Chains A and B, each alone.
Chain A
Amino acid sequence: MSDHLLEVRGLRTWFETPKGTVKAVDGVDLTLERGEILGLVGESGSGKSITGFSLLGLVDPPGRVVEGDIRFLGEDLRSASPRRLRDLRGNRIAMIFQDPMMTLNPVLRIGTQMIETVRAHAKVSKAEARAMARDALGQVGIPHPDERIDAYPHEFSGGMRQRVAIAIALLHKPDLIIADEPTTALDVTIQSQILSEVQTLTREMGMGLIWISHDLGVVGQLANKVAVMYAGRIVERGTVDEVLDAPRHPYTRGLIDSLPMENDRGQPLRQIPGNAPPPLGRPEGCPFRPRCARATEACLTEPAETEVQGRGWRCFHPLDERAMV
């Protein structure tokens, strides 16, 4: 059977609140193969992080995955037992968060935490686990891993802490890593170092990686494939070159156009008017309609995805494929 590494169909994660149902993720499809890096791009509130959490069964009440199919190497994760999920998480599927202190316990030496993680999923002696932990630290570029393994999280800089979190994610050589804005809080030169490690490791280990980010620049340089989210849906997807060079959805075009690097100095920046709709007040039809220059009456109905050879978009008035800057 030729199973995909990850296949998500029609994922819906909703939050029941006293004021109504927040449809944080509202019909998301994703496919990922080994060795691929998918950039999941969106602005705040687009549902990109909740998508990541949903895949791992990490959505807390009042949130709930209400619909959809999540298959990891063919295995249905939605109907998997909590025990099975726990077995997969941190072992076959790992997650890296924006704030490494979400992963690290501040009162334990990082070695202790890493040995614990190793032994949670593998029957090895403490000494073996420690050796694995040390190797993982070396792999992510932490100098003197033999000494640093006995340090506490606060003794590391922000960038080093994020490396430790990545080392923990890599301990079991997972098949899939979900990374939620892991370099957003870091300085440019440090971000670049970590991106470099991640790029090499994915290539060498043949992992699949979902890189959740608001930064088109980072995704453009790191990923093979891009999915752009807006108001809980993927509005455009394709290879990095397809999406960034010839976006079909007006929202993607707008995002690219508003990057300062894409604009002439002295001219006003091209901007997307208005704000993203609040989660409880999304407009009928296409959620981007009120901000879209191409909107017509047709957009009062929600557009379904048009798919052409693995490239998809949700828009009644897509931009011309050849319309390049």
Chain B
Amino acid sequence: MTGTAPMIQVAGVTKHFRRKTDLAERLAMRVGLAEEPPTVHALDDVSLQIAEGEVVGLVGESGCGKSTLGRVVAGMLPVTSGQVARDGKDIAKLKGAEARAMRLATQIIFQDPMSSLNPRKKVIDIIGEAPRLHGLVKRGEVRAEVERLMGLVGLDPAMANRYPHQFSGGQRQRIGIARALAVNPDFLICDESIAALDVSIQAQVINLLVRLREELSLTLLFISHDLSVVRYISDRVVIMYLGRVVETAPTDRIFDAARHPYTQALLEEIPRIDRRGHRFSSVKGEIPSPVNPPQGCHFHPRCPFAMDRCRIERPVLTQASPGHSVACHLDGGTGRPLSEAGVTTGDIPAID
């Protein structure tokens, strides 16, 4: 990390989704016969920085906005308000060649390789299409380039003429990774990229990502619901709940000294083979709908420590110690200290 602008700077980004209305509906609304379609508050004033070379794990449950944030950072979705900057430049204002370069330098790998790979195309075309179209390789060199990429991700280059269905789930995910790497990105967003894979295959793909990150000096935003995977791969962890960042800290801090009650609950509920006969359930209640999020702190209806203030006032993300920020009213706005939390986060053993 240098003193210059971080690679990715997300500043106060809010993203709302609203169903498009047709003319008849708009007329009906105008005369008061229909209500406005509901707004989904996917992101609510989210700020985040990613330094060059960093692996940031973005964790949260369904509907917390983690995938939306990934797409916003990649420039695939416009923001409702706020700003996303890449290398200090607002990506919404980039034009022409600069915008294209930014898009190529950021690539996303999705969860389900079967639905993100065109089933009618051969692997050579899936991986080779983008570099050819963008003029990164000459037409005659596409095959050699695809074979190089396949080797890089651990696929047999002899299989370049096969179709996606002829590969196993793990291999298809490798194809997805090769396709992302084909345009020489320096920043990869992995959106639940290994969630659909079997345990033994998951380990193979994680190892591949870690190796590629080192070999190609990649920066990674690793989006996942699985804290145990995130702990393994990330330098820093960002925890989201219902459209907001509730805690961010270096990985060890999150696992050893989480301050937000939600983070502590998540840690408590990771299924672990070394906890037998565990008494489940430390968080009560459902995840509220992002259409109608609760007032104040979004977590207050499920929080065992909620106070009156939490029901009214939104806690701001406050620095609790260097690099560790929490959005919680407890303990002077820095979350509850572990000793008082009554949550046994401490039984996560030190990494041996």
Contacts and interface: CB of A to CB of B under 8 A. Distances in A.
A binds B: yes
Contacts of A221: 271-272, 275-278, 280
A241 B275 CA distance: 10
Interface in B256-277: 265-266, 269-277
B266 A188 contact: yes
A271 B203 contact: yes
Contact of A240 (B204, B211, B225, B276): B276
A189 interface: yes
Interface string B23-46: 000000000000000000000000
Interface in A217-233: 217-218, 220-221
Given A43-B198, A259-B199, A260-B231, A159 B286 contact: yes
A218 B228 CA distance: 13
Given A187-B62, A193-B281, A264-B352, A258 B273 contact: no
B201 interface: yes
Contacts of A215: 271
Interface residues of B, number: 49
Interface string A235-248: 00000110010000
B266 A189 contact: yes
B137 interface: no
Nearest to B349: A261
Nearest to A158: B62
B154 to A, nearest CB: 11
Interface of B: 61-62, 168-171, 198-204, 206-207, 210-211, 225-229, 231-233, 251, 265-266, 269-284, 286-287, 302, 351-352
A17 interface: no
A263 B228 CA distance: 10
19 contacts: A157-B287, A159-B286, A188-B225, A188-B227, A188-B270, A190-B287, A192-B282, A193-B284, A196-B279, A214-B199, A216-B199, A221-B272, A221-B278, A244-B276, A258-B203, A260-B232, A268-B210, A268-B211, A269-B232
Closest 7 CB pairs of A and B: A217-B271, A196-B280, A258-B203, A187-B61, A260-B232, A196-B281, A43-B198
A285 B272 CA distance: 33
A71 to B, nearest CB: 29
A179 B99 CA distance: 50
A157 B285 CA distance: 11
B231 A261 contact: yes
B200 A272 contact: yes
A220 B265 contact: no
Nearest to A159: B286
B274 to A, nearest CB: 7
A190 B203 contact: no
A265 B62 contact: no
B61 A272 contact: no
Given A189-B283, A195-B281, A220-B275, A258 B210 contact: no
B207 A160 contact: no
Given A188-B271, A244-B276, 6 more contacts: A187-B225, A188-B225, A188-B270, A215-B271, A217-B273, A268-B207
A265 B232 contact: yes
A276 interface: yes
B215 to A, nearest CB: 13
A44 interface: yes
